[in-house]
Chain A
């Protein structure tokens, strides 16, 4: 069974540009979660999508947004990039709902903003 996949592996952008990160969940999983892991700050919850809808978001500005497609894959968009957006962005998936199910993580996308 294929795990969670993310693309691209690495992404280098300039301050002010937009970045798009993609995530494909495990087959059968309908929930997708996005996290930011910045150096020295630990893992921070960004967004949760389930069945195509945004269910919850963490304490991040509106320039962090995303969507979930009918096949349950998801993309994360970061607009007006700032230097402090440089981080490892991790995607996870689970069966529907946050309450009872394990989250399985992808390998991450390393975003570097210069």
Chain B
């Protein structure tokens, strides 16, 4: 059974700091991994999608990497801003065609 874990559960950083969020999964048989952000009480905003054959994806200040063999992905946020404060979720699409989410990392960027 696929399990997705995100560490840390919460993170507080000063504005301008570079930071890394971690996502690990137990079964390497995935089709893709997607990173989202969720603002309180809202739906999810897609940030980056990495196919299983890819190693990384970049969008603006965001860079996500994928190491399928070790069951790990990282989301790197450069020069963090208060507007980046949100919960960040990773999700994998399993070999059984289900989307499994991690519990998320709650990020707070202090001005």
Contacts and interface: CB of A to CB of B under 8 A. Distances in A.
Main secondary structure of the interface of A (DSSP, over half): strand
Contact of B34 (A4, A35, A48, A103): A103
Interface of A: 4, 33, 35, 42-45, 48, 55-56, 58, 88, 90, 92, 98-108, 110
Contacts, number: 58
Contact of B98 (A58, A104, A107): A58
Interface residues of B, number: 24
B47 to A, nearest CB: 10
Contact of B97 (A48, A100, A105): A48
A8 to B, nearest CB: 15
B103 A105 contact: no
Contacts of B31: 98-100
A98 B32 CA distance: 9
A99 B13 CA distance: 35
B94 to A, nearest CB: 9
A56 B97 contact: yes
